């Protein structure tokens, strides 16, 4: 492996694979994966059409799918960065989403309620609450890291133990959420009208949904700028790419890890608030998002924020469009099936890198 | 001693005897004798020392802990033996529970059919249901393992978690299959006629007379025997397996995946087999659970009760050690049940903190179990009883690697 | 007083001891080569100097300071850099970003100037600065790795087998650059399979075998030593 990595390109490469291996390799290429995913979406649209959904219904569903994808993406970017930098799947990421939503709910309730910013259903206090909650949830994430993950990291613990620790953190944080806010569903603005707008092409969409779409796009763009333009962002990518070398280059990896948690937690807060706006607040909301988030992360390739965004949007569309022909309760199941397809065809995902 | 206590004592004998065999040290013959004597003494003594309510509680506690021990053993045969990170225990548990329920219940008819739907109801006997539960869970496990077991550990963890959620969605949403979101009721209890009046017609008159003072409330005394026997069978089978060449090979694969995968194809199938064996045991555990609680629905098979807590049990008891798996199940179930009492007692104090807190006390138990796992992972990842490396009878204790 | 002093270091992983009582030193601006058979512990010496592995006994001194217990990033701060043998670049980052990561500890304002200096050493990197480093050839990767290590103007550069896996032509190019770098200031401690070439350029050299010092001397002296030649230079 390493010999190939450092081999000069003047050295001739022998391709001694058999025909069968070549076919398998082609089946497992990224292009095949991309084609398979695109075909799946086309099949979903056709199935929806056969079930009697009109073209504009399907278009609306697709746009809702992009919106759901935006929400999933906000969670998935943080998940993929933590996965890339710390090298374990963080099963507690969903709880950061939930914490962010409930935290925003509580802080917004403390602020004076402003009039709804039409065409949206919420007032300025929700946005202020969201921004104030971001550092709080960052603190939660850092505290968990300090108590649980950092000692394991220092010891060089196996991935399995870290994953298990994150599962423990997930249940711990969820129990805290239940203890503070109880198990009842809540709404940011119970009973407030959320009028449906009809756009050209007969697309029906709520004001809040447009907001979610736009805010998700803005945050995703900001994250992209952060990762590609700032030094800390580049250091995050570098650490995700090759943690040992990052250390050798003089990067203080613990600081990079803290920054990664901060970014992941803040985006999780935004994702949670938007999810709360689109449906309701419940203690299990983050857990329900976890499967689609993981599916997006794996589809995009672990450690790749761009991949997570693309994966999230594909999954969002697939979930929404599939609701035109199967029980919408199976949405997370659809994302799971897509994830398994990715794992079978190309576990590296659309934008993933080979392990060094 | 009243006849009711005597009858209850009689039921305690077998589980206590098996427990004695499990924990007593020494040679086989001596152990059997010691276990017989102790079981008789304790079985006779317990009803005298404890009041009837407490004893019934203790027995139902042990029954539930025993069911969890079966699941924990199933997980051990995957994680402890072969290193599969199955975060989807709940899925195979659910498949087992619903399968056995479908095979043993009666298909609802007439007016009832409008309220209660299920795919079929075959009225099979209890054991038939249990075996079918294991087989079906194993089949599901087999089909899942082929794409999934090729993957890295972390993907396996995510994928199995997903499988369990999907299985739960199916039992929640498919009304025709097992009554959708509504519970599936009336799962028969094996031999529950023993505790009815009049008792089973085939019982000899003497036995019927002996059991006469017992009421259906005492059924759990009998079910503890059922659970203990199934647990014993699973335990012995797994002990044999883990010392067989097959088990040794799996451990080698687990510890040195790269070198052992030199003969790749072979290893891949061994790994699938171990996953399927674990799923079979989880399915059996599901069946035993279903016939105990009589009425099941999808919400029983959530990630907390049916996956997470089982991991805590195995991690606490000791991964790779079958005795540890059983010990962990009893210990964690003890913590879980004990916490309920503690929270009841502490509820006035909780009231002082917040009015809502006492009603949310149940979540303190979650917190406790989560903390427990955190502490295990941080301070004693090998659990209370660490893995026994002795895999051959030709090794003496001195050879045991540290 | 030498720039780097390794004093009687014993080190290893877990139960295995790889280095036994190894001592060596590198003076300001010197070029020093370590040669030895496979498994002699050459890379382990590098890792121990750089804080990736801490000595069990003995100590490592840099600029008269004991650095045995420091973390790599603290050692980088003190003016030492390390070019590992494998996975020594960030494959997912561009060439220019790779260089920036080499100067993570430098002031932001200086970075462009520092990069320009590296591009003077390796003009080929300037042409390809926006390319993803993982897509480059072996020789170019080695340039990126060395360039990143030089970003902070280190006083000492550790290089682990810079010629491994390269075509003979590329080996020549890389060694030319190493000589140029050394002339411009930093001391270089290099582990090399290509002992002839490396020793010719070196001021001094050490021969390591089975984790112990065997020989030391000037570069030419070692090349001329018949025993070293017979045992370790294959001639």
- One DSSP character per residue, A208-276 reads HHHHHHHHHHHHHHHHHHHHHHSHHHHHHHHHHH-HHHHHHTT--HHHHHHHHHHHHHHHHHHHHHHHH
- 């309730």: which residue's tokens? A109
Dist CA A220 CA A234 (whole Å): 16
**Count of residues in chain B:** 402
The reply to whether residue A251 touches residue C88, judged by beta carbons under 8 angstroms, is: no
A40-46 contacts at long range (C-beta below 8 A, 24 or more positions apart):
A40/A318, A40/A338, A40/A341, A41/A314, A41/A317, A41/A318, A41/A321, A44/A317, A44/A318, A44/A321, A44/A322, A44/A325, A45/A321
What are the backbone angles phi and psi of residue C85, rounded to the nearest 5°?
Answer: -75, -45
Structure tokens at B217: 């409330």
C199-202 contacts at long range (C-beta below 8 A, 24 or more positions apart):
C199/C33, C199/C35, C199/C223, C201/C31, C201/C33, C201/C175, C202/C31, C202/C32, C202/C33
- Distances from the Cα of A176 to the Cα of A130, A148, B41, C151, angstroms: 20, 17, 46, 48
- Distances from the Cα of B102 to the Cα of B19, B187, B260, B297, C96, angstroms: 32, 8, 42, 13, 65
DSSP B218-231: GHHHHHHHHHHHHH
Collapsed DSSP state (helix, strand, coil) of residue A280 = coil
- 């049940």: which residue's tokens? B337
Give me the residue from C76, C138, C141 closest to A250, CB to CB.
Answer: C76
From chain B residues 68-87, the ones with a CB under 8 A of any chain A CB are: 83, 85, 87
Q: Give me the interface pTM, i.e. the ipTM.
A: 0.88
Q: Which residues of A touch B303 (CB under 8 A)?
A: 287
Question: How many other CB atoms sit within 10 Å of the CB of residue B180?
Answer: 19
Q: Is A148's Cβ below 8 Å from some Cβ in B?
A: yes
Dist CA C16 CA C21 (whole Å): 14
Size of interface A-B (CB pairs under 8 A): 119
- The C-alpha R_g of chain B, in whole angstroms, comes to 22
Residue A256 has pLDDT above 90, yes or no: yes
Q: What residue of C is the nearest CA neighbor of A353?
A: C92
Residue A301 has pLDDT above 60, yes or no: yes
Considering only residues C163 and C115, tell me which one the structure prediction assigns the higher pLDDT: C115
Handedness of CA B188, B189, B191, B192 (dihedral sign): negative
Q: Which residues of A touch B356 (CB under 8 A)?
A: 182
Q: Residue C73 in contact with residue A252, Cβ under 8 Å?
A: yes
Tens digit of each residue's pLDDT (9 = 90 or more) over A135-163: 999 999 999 999 999 999 988 888 889 99
Handedness of CA B242, B247, B250, B252 (dihedral sign): positive
Dist CA A336 CA A346 (whole Å): 15
DSSP B134-188: HHHHHHHHHHHHHHHTTS-HHHHHHHHHHHHHHHHHHHHH-HHHH-TTSPB--PP
Dist CA B309 CA B370 (whole Å): 9
Q: Which residues of C touch A230 (CB under 8 A)?
A: none
For chains C and A, tell me whether 3 or more CB atom pairs sit within 8 A of each other: yes
What are the backbone angles phi and psi of residue B85, rounded to the nearest 5°?
Answer: -90, 95
pLDDT at A266: 96
Cα atoms found within 13 Å of the Cα of residue A263, Cβ hemisphere only:
27
Is the backbone peptide bond immediately before C45 cis, with ω within 30 degrees of 0?
A: no
Dist CA B28 CA B347 (whole Å): 49
Collapsed DSSP state (helix, strand, coil) of residue B395 = coil
Give me the residue from B87, B155, B373 closest to A347, CB to CB.
Answer: B155
- Residue A257's contacts (CB-CB under 8 Å, 6 or more residues apart) are A85, A86, A145, A239
Q: Name the average pLDDT for chain A.
A: 86
DSSP B262: G
Q: Is A93's Cβ below 8 Å from some Cβ in B?
A: no
Q: Name the average pLDDT for chain C.
A: 88
Q: Is A313's Cβ below 8 Å from some Cβ in B?
A: no
Neighboring chains of B (3 or more beta-carbon pairs < 8 A): A
Question: How many other CB atoms sit within 10 Å of the CB of residue B339?
Answer: 19
Nearest to B149 by CA among B247, B252, B242, B279: B279
Dist CA C23 CA C92 (whole Å): 38
Rounded to the nearest angstrom, the gap between the alpha carbon of residue A107 and the centroid of all alpha carbons in its chain is 24
- 């934008």: which residue's tokens? A351
Q: How far is A241 from chain B (nearest CA, A)?
A: 18
- Residue B336's contacts (CB-CB under 8 Å, 6 or more residues apart) are B309, B365, B368, B369
Rounded to the nearest angstrom, the gap between the alpha carbon of residue A244 and the centroid of all alpha carbons in its chain is 26
Handedness of CA A200, A203, A208, A209 (dihedral sign): negative
What value does the mean pLDDT take over residues A231-241?
90
Q: What residue of B is the nearest CA neighbor of A334?
A: B166
Tens digit of each residue's pLDDT (9 = 90 or more) over A312-345: 999 999 999 999 888 888 888 899 889 988 888 8
Give me the residue from A10, A241, A356 closest to C93, CB to CB.
Answer: A241
Residue to substitute from C92, C164, C174, interface A, most A β-carbons within 10 A: C92
b/e A34-67 (16+ beta carbons within 10 angstroms → b) = eebbeebbeebbeebeeeebeeebbbbbbbbbbb
Reported as a pLDDT band with limits 50, 70 and 90, residue A233 is very high
Q: How far is C234 from chain A (nearest CA, A)?
A: 23
Q: Residue B285 in contact with residue B301, Cβ under 8 Å?
A: no
Burial bucket for residue A253 (CB in 10 Å: 0-12, 13-18, 19+): buried
Rounded to the nearest angstrom, the gap between the alpha carbon of residue C55 and the centroid of all alpha carbons in its chain is 19
Dist CA B230 CA B290 (whole Å): 14
The reply to whether residue C82 touches residue A245, judged by beta carbons under 8 angstroms, is: no
Q: Which residues of C touch A251 (CB under 8 A)?
A: 73, 101, 104
Q: Which residues of A touch B309 (CB under 8 A)?
A: none
Q: What residue of C is the nearest CA neighbor of A6?
A: C138
Structure tokens at A1: 């492996």
The reply to whether residue B303 touches residue A287, judged by beta carbons under 8 angstroms, is: yes
Dist CA A268 CA C149 (whole Å): 36
Handedness of CA B319, A169, B67, B32 (dihedral sign): positive
Give me the residue from C92, C102, C139 closest to A237, CB to CB.
Answer: C92
Burial bucket for residue B384 (CB in 10 Å: 0-12, 13-18, 19+): middle
What angle, rounded to 10 degrees, do the helices at A124-144 and A253-278 form? 140
pLDDT at A7: 38
Q: Residue A170 in contact with residue A92, Cβ under 8 Å?
A: yes
Neighboring chains of A (3 or more beta-carbon pairs < 8 A): B, C
Dist CA B399 CA B46 (whole Å): 42
pLDDT at B398: 42
Dist CA A270 CA A276 (whole Å): 10
Considering only residues C220 and B95, tell me which one the structure prediction assigns the higher pLDDT: B95
Q: Residue C43 in contact with residue C30, Cβ under 8 Å?
A: no
Q: Residue A336 in contact with residue A318, Cβ under 8 Å?
A: no
What value does the mean pLDDT take over residues A182-188?
88
Q: What pairing do the DSSP bridges indicate for beta strands C4-13 and C57-62? A: antiparallel
Residue A25 has pLDDT above 80, yes or no: no
Q: In chain B, which residues have pLDDT < 70? A: 1, 198, 256-265, 388-402
pLDDT at A2: 36
What are the backbone angles phi and psi of residue A199, rounded to the nearest 5°?
Answer: -95, 170
pLDDT at A13: 42
For chains C and B, tell me whether 3 or more CB atom pairs sit within 8 A of each other: no
Q: Residue A251 in contact with residue C71, Cβ under 8 Å?
A: no
Q: Which residues of B touch A327 (CB under 8 A)?
A: 173
Residue A123 has pLDDT above 80, yes or no: yes
Q: Which residues of A touch C100 (CB under 8 A)?
A: 231, 234
Angle at A140 between CA A138 and CA A144, to 5 degrees: 115
Give me the residue from C90, C97, C108 closest to A242, CB to CB.
Answer: C90
Neighboring chains of C (3 or more beta-carbon pairs < 8 A): A
Q: Rounded to 10 degrees, what is the CA torsion of B346, B349, B355, B358?
A: -10
**Strand spans (E) along chain A:** 196-199, 203-206
Reported as a pLDDT band with limits 50, 70 and 90, residue A9 is very low
Q: Which residues of B touch A159 (CB under 8 A)?
A: 153-154
Q: Which residues of B touch A165 (CB under 8 A)?
A: 373-374, 377-378
pLDDT at A8: 39
pLDDT at C192: 86
Q: How far is A198 from chain B (nearest CA, A)?
A: 32
Q: Is C93's Cβ below 8 Å from some Cβ in A?
A: yes
DSSP C165-184: T--HHHHHHHHHHHHHHHHH
Nearest to B328 by CA among B318, B340, B338: B318
Handedness of CA C219, C222, C223, C228 (dihedral sign): negative
Residue A352 has pLDDT above 80, yes or no: no
- Residue A205's contacts (CB-CB under 8 Å, 6 or more residues apart) are A60, A63, A64, A196, A197, A199
């Amino acid at each position: 492996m390493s010999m190939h990595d450092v081999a000069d390109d003047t050295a001739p490469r022998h391709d001694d694979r058999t025909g069968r291996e070549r076919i398998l390799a082609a089946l497992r290429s990224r292009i095949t994966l991309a084609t398979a995913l695109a075909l799946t979406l086309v099949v979903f649209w056709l199935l929806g059409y056969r079930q009697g959904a009109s073209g504009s219904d399907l278009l609306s569903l697709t746009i809702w799918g992009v919106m759901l994808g935006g929400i999933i993406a906000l969670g998935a970017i943080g998940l993929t960065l933590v996965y890339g930098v710390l090298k374990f799947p963080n099963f507690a990421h969903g709880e950061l989403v939930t914490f962010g939503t409930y935290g925003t709910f509580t802080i917004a309730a403390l602020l004076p309620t402003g009039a709804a910013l039409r065409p949206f259903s919420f007032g300025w206090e929700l946005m202020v609450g969201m921004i104030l909650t971001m550092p709080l949830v960052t603190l939660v994430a850092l505290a968990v890291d300090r108590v649980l993950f950092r000692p394991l990291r220092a010891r060089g613990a196996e991935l399995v133990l870290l994953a298990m620790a994150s599962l423990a953190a997930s249940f711990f944080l969820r129990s805290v959420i239940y203890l503070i806010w109880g198990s009842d569903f809540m709404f940011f603005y119970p009973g407030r009208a959320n009028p449906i707008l009809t756009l050209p092409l007969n697309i029906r969409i709520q004001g809040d949904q447009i907001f979610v779409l736009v805010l998700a796009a803005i945050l995703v763009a900001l994250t992209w700028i952060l990762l590609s333009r700032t030094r800390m962002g580049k250091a995050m990518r570098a650490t995700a790419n090759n943690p040992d070398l990052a250390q050798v280059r003089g990067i203080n990896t613990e600081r990079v890890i803290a920054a990664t948690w901060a970014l992941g937690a803040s985006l999780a807060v935004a994702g949670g608030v938007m999810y709360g706006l689109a449906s309701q607040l419940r203690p299990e909301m983050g857990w329900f998002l976890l499967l689609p988030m993981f599916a997006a992360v794996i589809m995009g390739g672990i450690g790749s924020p761009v991949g997570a965004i693309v994966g999230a949007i594909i999954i969002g569309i697939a979930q929404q469009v599939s609701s035109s022909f199967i029980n919408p309760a199976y949405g997370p199941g659809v994302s799971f099936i897509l994830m398994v397809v990715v794992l079978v065809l190309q576990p590296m995902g659309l934008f993933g890198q080979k392990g060094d | 001693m009243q006849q009711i206590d005597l009858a209850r004592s009689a039921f305690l004998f077998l589980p206590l005897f098996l427990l004695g065999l499990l924990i007593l040290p020494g040679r086989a013959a001596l152990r059997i004798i010691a276990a017989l004597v102790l079981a008789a003494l304790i079985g006779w003594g317990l009803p005298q020392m404890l009041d009837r309510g407490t004893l019934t509680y203790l027995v139902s506690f042990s029954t539930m802990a025993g069911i969890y021990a079966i699941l924990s053993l199933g997980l051990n045969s995957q994680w402890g033996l072969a290193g599969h990170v199955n975060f989807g225990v709940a899925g195979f548990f659910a498949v087992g529970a619903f399968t056995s329920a479908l095979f043993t219940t009666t298909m609802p008819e007439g007016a009832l059919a409008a309220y209660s739907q299920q795919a079929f109801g075959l009225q099979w006997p209890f054991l038939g249901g249990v075996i079918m539960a294991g087989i079906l869970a194993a089949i599901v496990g087999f089909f899942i393992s082929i794409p999934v077991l090729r993957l890295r550990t972390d993907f396996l963890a995510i994928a199995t978690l997903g499988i369990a959620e999907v299985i739960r969605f199916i039992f929640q949403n498919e009304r025709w299959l097992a009554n959708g979101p509504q519970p599936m009721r009336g799962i028969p209890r094996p031999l529950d006629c023993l505790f009815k009046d009049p008792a089973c017609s085939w019982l000899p008159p003497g036995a019927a007379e002996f059991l006469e003072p017992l009421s259906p409330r005492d059924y759990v005394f009998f079910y503890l025997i059922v659970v203990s026997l199934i647990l014993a069978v699973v335990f012995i089978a797994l002990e044999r397996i883990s010392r067989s060449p097959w088990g040794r090979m799996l451990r080698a694969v687990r510890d040195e995946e790269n070198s052992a995968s030199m003969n790749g194809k072979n290893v891949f199938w061994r790994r699938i087999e171990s996953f399927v064996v674990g799923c079979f045991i989880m399915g059996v555990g599901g069946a035993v659970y279903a016939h105990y609680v009589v009425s099941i629905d999808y919400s029983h098979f959530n990630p907390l009760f049916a996956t997470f807590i089982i991991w805590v049990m195995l991690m606490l008891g000791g991964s790779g050690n079958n005795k540890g798996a059983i010990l962990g199940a009893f210990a964690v179930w003890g913590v879980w049940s004990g916490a309920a009492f503690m929270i009841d007692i502490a509820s006035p104090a909780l009231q002082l903190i917040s009015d809502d807190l006492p009603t949310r006390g149940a979540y303190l138990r979650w917190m406790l179990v989560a903390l427990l796992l955190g502490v295990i992972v941080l301070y004693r990842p090998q659990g209370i009883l660490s893995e026994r490396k002795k895999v051959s009878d030709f090794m003496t204790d001195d050879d045991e690697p540290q | 007083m030498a720039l780097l002093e390794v004093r009687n270091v014993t080190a290893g992983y877990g139960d295995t001891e790889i280095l036994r009582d190894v001592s060596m030193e590198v003076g300001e601006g010197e070029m020093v080569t370590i040669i030895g058979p496979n498994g002699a512990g050459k890379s382990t010496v590098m890792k121990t100097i750089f804080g990736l592995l801490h000595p069990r006994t003995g100590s490592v001194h840099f600029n008269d300071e004991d650095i045995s217990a420091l973390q790599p990033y603290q050692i980088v701060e003190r003016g030492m850099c390390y070019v590992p043998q494998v996975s020594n670049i960030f494959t997912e980052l561009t060439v220019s970003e790779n260089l920036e990561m080499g100067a993570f500890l430098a002031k932001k304002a200086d970075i462009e100037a520092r990069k320009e200096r590296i591009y003077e050493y390796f003009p080929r990197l300037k042409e390809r600065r926006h390319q993803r480093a993982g897509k480059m050839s072996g020789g170019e990767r080695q340039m990126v790795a060395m360039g990143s290590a030089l970003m902070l103007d280190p006083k000492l550069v550790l290089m682990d087998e810079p010629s491994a896996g390269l075509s003979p032509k590329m080996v020549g190019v890389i060694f030319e650059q190493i000589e140029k770098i050394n002339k411009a200031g930093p001391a270089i401690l290099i582990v090399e399979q290509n002992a002839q070439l490396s020793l010719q350029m070196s001021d001094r050299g050490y021969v390591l075998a089975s984790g112990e010092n065997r020989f030391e001397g000037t570069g030419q002296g070692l090349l001329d030593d018949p025993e070293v030649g017979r045992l370790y230079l294959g001639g």
